[in-house]
Amino acid sequence: MHTPKRKKQQPSIDGYLTSERLAEHLGVHPSTLVKWRMARSGPPYVRVGKRILYSQNSIENWLKANEQQPVR
């Protein structure tokens, strides 16, 4: 029986999310985060080696800063 290869699970760092986890939380595809990084329009991130991590505090601040008021 052949089992598909699984991506090696990276250990988490308290207070930070990986691109995959953030994409799940936001309901977007991980490639969307790549596009946002390239356009410098997404949440702030930190690069640790090859890993991209997002601070949960920075994500909350970015969401608040991009909050839209309803049209009246």
Q: What is the mean pLDDT of residues 66-71?
A: 91
Tell me the C-alpha distance between 70 and 72, whole Å: 6
Contact present, 17 and 51 (Cβ < 8 Å): no
- Domain contains 52: yes
- Domain contains 46: yes
Q: How many domains does the chain have?
A: 1
Domain span at residue 57 reads 16-64
- Identify the pLDDT of residue 13: 85
Whether the predicted model's global pTM rises above the 0.85 cut:
no
Tell me the C-alpha distance between 72 and 65, whole Å: 20
- Domain contains 25: yes
62 CB contacts (<8 Å, ≥6 apart)?
42, 43, 44
Best CA proximity match to 57, nearest among 13, 22, 15, 11: 15
- Identify the pLDDT of residue 20: 95
pLDDT digits (tens, 9 = 90+) for 7-59: 556 667 889 999 999 999 999 999 999 999 999 999 999 999 999 999 999 99
